[in-house]
A and B are shown apart, each in its own frame.
Chain A
C-alpha cells in the first residue's frame, strides 16, 4: 500500500515546506478550493471516512451537521491531545509531517466555511509545538493559509493551543472547555459541539489522523479511497504497537488488517521467543483480548463483533511474564489520576476499583473481592457524563472476564504469582 500519512517521514527534512511541496504538497488544497464546500463534504461522505480518534464517527456526517447550522463563525479544532496510554500514532505526523495536517485542516476549513482553526496539542509534546508553529508560519508566508488562501478570497487562520497534561481533554467537550481557558471538564450533550461548541459556536473537532487523510482523499477521490481496506470502514490507518514484539513502532496499514497480521507479520512476532498472553488492541480503555481472539479485523465495524474496540489503534502486546492484575491496577491508577472529578460514579467509583485492585495485587485480597470489583464497575458503566468512567470500568470487567484465574491466584496465594 502506498504510504499516505507517513509518506516522506524518513526524509530528515520532511517537516520543511519545500520538501512537502516537492512531493505534491498543497496541490489538493488548490483542487479543493476550486470545489464547492458542500461538494467537499459530499466527497468525504462518499469515501466513508470515519474519525480516527477512537469513536469512529462518520466524518462527513459530523461535517454536514456543522455545515447546516446557520451560526457563524464556525471553528475547526484539531484534537492533537493523544493521551490514551499506548497511543503514539499522531506524533510522527505532528513532528515530521506537519504540513500534511495543515493542508488537511485548510481543506476542511474550506469545506466547513470555518475561518479559524486551532490545533489542541498535548503539553507532553513540546517539540511538536515549535515544529507546528514554524510550519504554520511557512504556510502563511506562502499564502496557503491566512486571509486569502491561494488567492481564493477564502480565509483560514490557524493557531496552536497547548494543553497542560489532562487526559480528559481528549474528550471533545472537555477539549473545548480547555480551549476556552477553563478546567477540562466534559459538557452535557446535547447540544453537540457541531451546533454549540467553542464560544457557543458550531465547532468541528477532528483527530490529527482524520484531518491528515484529507489531502490524499481529495487527490484520489472517494472511490479510490474507499477501495482501501475494509469495505464498511475504509482507508489507510495508523497502528502504534508497543510492548513485547520484536519491532514496535507506528505502522500505516489498510483498515481491517488483523491483529495477528500486525503482531506476527508486521512487528516480527513476540520478543525473545516468549508466548503471547494478552493484547490491548486500541489503547488502554479498550477491552483486552486473549491470544485466541487475535484473528479479528482491526476496524471500527468489526472490532465490536469481537467484543473489543479499535479505539486509537494502539496495540499493547504482553507476553507470559506479565502480571495482568498489575497491568489492570496500573490502568486504574491512571484513570483515578485523570478523572476530572465532575461526576461521582467516576470520581469515587474508579478510586474504589483502584483500592480493591491494589489490595489484591499486594496479596491482601479477600474472598468476594472479584465480585465486589464487578459490582462497583457495573455501577459506573453508563452512569457518567463522558466515556472515561466507562473505560475504567470496562478495563476491570474485561480483565476479569478473560483472566479471572490470575485474580483468583492472587487472592488464594496471598501474593503475586509472577514475582
Chain B
C-alpha cells in the first residue's frame, strides 16, 4: 500500500517539478501533496517529501513550519477557517467564534472531541465585502450571521 501511494506522489511530483527550472521549487506543492495524502504534515510525511525531492530534512521542516496553511498536527474531518481580521471583526466575527466553541466544543487551533471540526482563526481570506466570512475545507461561506453559520456547519458531517 505504502509503495503504491508513494509512486502516485512521485508521478504527481514529477509533473509539478517540470514547471520549474530547479527541483527545490517543487517543495511548496510537494508539501501540499503530502498534506492531501496524510491530512497533516507529520515528521514522517516531511521526511518523505525530503527523500522524494532530494532536499535536506531540516530545510523541509523549516519551510513547512513557516507557512500557516501547512498543518503541524492532525485535524478533524472538516476544517473551519474563520477570518477575524478587522473587516470581519467589526461585523461580528468574534461572536461567531463563541458560537462555534459553544455548539461544537472546539477551541481556536483545536479539534472537537468527535473529530468533526477543527477551527483555525484566519488572517483575511479576501471576502471583506461580504464579511464575516469563512472557508470550510475549500468552500467559501460569506455574509455569516449567528443564525446562518450553524445551518451551514450542519451541512458538514
- A residues with a Cβ closer than 8 A to B are 73, 82-88, 90-91, 122-127, 159, 161-167, 178-184, 199, 240-244, 248-250, 280, 284, 314, 316, 318, 322, 326-327, 330-331, 334, 337-338, 340
Q: List 7 A-B contacts (CB under 8 A).
A: A84-B124, A126-B135, A162-B29, A164-B32, A165-B69, A248-B131, A316-B90
Give the distance to chain A from B122, nearest Cβ to Cβ, in Å: 7
The answer to the question of B45 belonging to the interface, with a C-beta cut-off of 8 Å to chain A, is no
Pick the contact of B67: A166, A199, A243 (CB < 8 A). Answer: A166
The answer to the question of B75 belonging to the interface, with a C-beta cut-off of 8 Å to chain A, is no
Flag if B55 contacts A181 (CB, 8 Å): yes
Query: Which residues of A lie under 8 Å from residue B32 when comparing CB positions?
Result: 162, 164
B81-107 contacts to A, CB under 8 A, are 81, 84-87, 89-91
Sample of 9 more A-B contacts, CB < 8 Å, known A87-B126, A162-B29: A73-B21, A126-B135, A181-B24, A181-B27, A248-B130, A318-B90, A327-B86, A330-B85, A330-B86
The answer to the question of B140 belonging to the interface, with a C-beta cut-off of 8 Å to chain A, is yes
Query: Which residues of A lie under 8 Å from residue B128 when comparing CB positions?
Result: 85-88, 240, 242-243, 248, 314, 316
Query: Which residues of A lie under 8 Å from residue B27 when comparing CB positions?
Result: 181-182
Flag if A331 contacts B70 (CB, 8 Å): no
The answer to the question of B144 belonging to the interface, with a C-beta cut-off of 8 Å to chain A, is no
Pick the contact of A242: B25, B26, B69, B131 (CB < 8 A). Answer: B131
B1-55 contacts to A, CB under 8 A, are 19, 21-22, 24-29, 31-32, 55
Query: Which residues of A lie under 8 Å from residue B127 when comparing CB positions?
Result: 88, 91
Query: Which residues of A lie under 8 Å from residue B130 when comparing CB positions?
Result: 248
Number of interface residues of B (CB under 8 A): 40
Flag if A181 contacts B63 (CB, 8 Å): yes
Give bound CA distance, A230 to B25, whole Å. 41
Flag if A316 contacts B86 (CB, 8 Å): yes
Residue of B nearest to A179 (CB): B25
Residue of B nearest to A249 (CB): B129
Pick the contact of A163: B28, B62, B63 (CB < 8 A). Answer: B28
Give bound CA distance, A70 to B28, whole Å. 30
Flag if A165 contacts B68 (CB, 8 Å): yes
Give the distance to chain B from A57, nearest Cβ to Cβ, in Å: 23
Give the distance to chain B from A268, nearest Cβ to Cβ, in Å: 13
Residue of B nearest to A166 (CB): B67
Give bound CA distance, A166 to B64, whole Å. 12
Query: Which residues of A lie under 8 Å from residue B29 when comparing CB positions?
Result: 161-162
Give bound CA distance, A86 to B90, whole Å. 12
Residue of A nearest to B63 (CB): A183
Flag if A166 contacts B68 (CB, 8 Å): yes
Given A164-B31, A242-B128, A249-B129, do A85 and B85 touch, yes or no (CB 8 Å)? yes
Give the distance to chain A from B86, nearest Cβ to Cβ, in Å: 6
Give the distance to chain B from A231, nearest Cβ to Cβ, in Å: 29
Residue of A nearest to B65 (CB): A183
In the complex, which of the residues B19, B90, B122 has the most CB atoms of chain A within 10 Å of its own CB atom? B90
Residue of A nearest to B16 (CB): A159
Query: Which residues of A lie under 8 Å from residue B91 when comparing CB positions?
Result: 243
Residue of A nearest to B84 (CB): A330
Flag if A127 contacts B85 (CB, 8 Å): no
* Per-position 1/0 for B121-148, Cβ under 8 A of A: 0111111111100010010100000000
Smallest CB-CB A-B distances: 4 pairs: A181-B27, A164-B67, A165-B68, A242-B128
